[in-house]
Amino acid sequence: MSTSDQPSPPAGGRSILSPLRALAAVCLIAPFVAMLWIPSFNKTNPKLLGFPFFYWYQLLWVIITAVLMIVAFVAMNRDRTQRRGAQTSSGTVDSDGPEAGQ
């Protein structure tokens, strides 16, 4: 495999994966793991207001997922702002997706 097949590092020497992007990725992946790991919630006890664990656990994850999506959104916006600030201060301005013109 030649070196031309390797992706070039981003401008300014910044890594593509920042801590904020890693946080956003964890927030996006966690609900999928929790809901696809069925043996962890495939039981009836403990009951909450008469609802078996199986049902209220899934309903609880609807709320948790909404909160995690907000955290991921805020993390990505902060990361984008930091990257634009670094690009502007270094004199290189690249488009960063469809929001670049805003």
Q: What is the pLDDT of residue 81?
A: 86
Domain carrying residue 31: 16-87
Residue 10 within any structural domain of the chain: no
Is the pTM above the cut of 0.75? no
Please tell me the least confidently modeled range out of 11-15, 70-74, 78-82.
11-15
Long-range residue pairs from 63-70, CB within 8 A, at least 24 positions apart, any chain: 64/31, 64/34, 65/31, 68/27, 68/28, 68/30, 68/31, 69/27, 69/28
Provide the number of structural domains found in the chain. 1
Residue 98 within any structural domain of the chain: no
**Of 69, 75, 64, the residue nearest 27 (C-alpha):** 69
Give 32-75 pLDDT, tens digit per residue.
998 888 888 888 889 888 889 888 898 999 999 999 999 999 99
pLDDT at 102 over 60: no
Residue 37 within any structural domain of the chain: yes
Contact between 34 and 61 under an 8 Å Cβ cutoff? The reply is yes
Residue 80 within any structural domain of the chain: yes
Residue 97 within any structural domain of the chain: no
Residue 55 within any structural domain of the chain: yes
Q: CA–CA separation, 21 vs 10, rounded Å?
A: 15
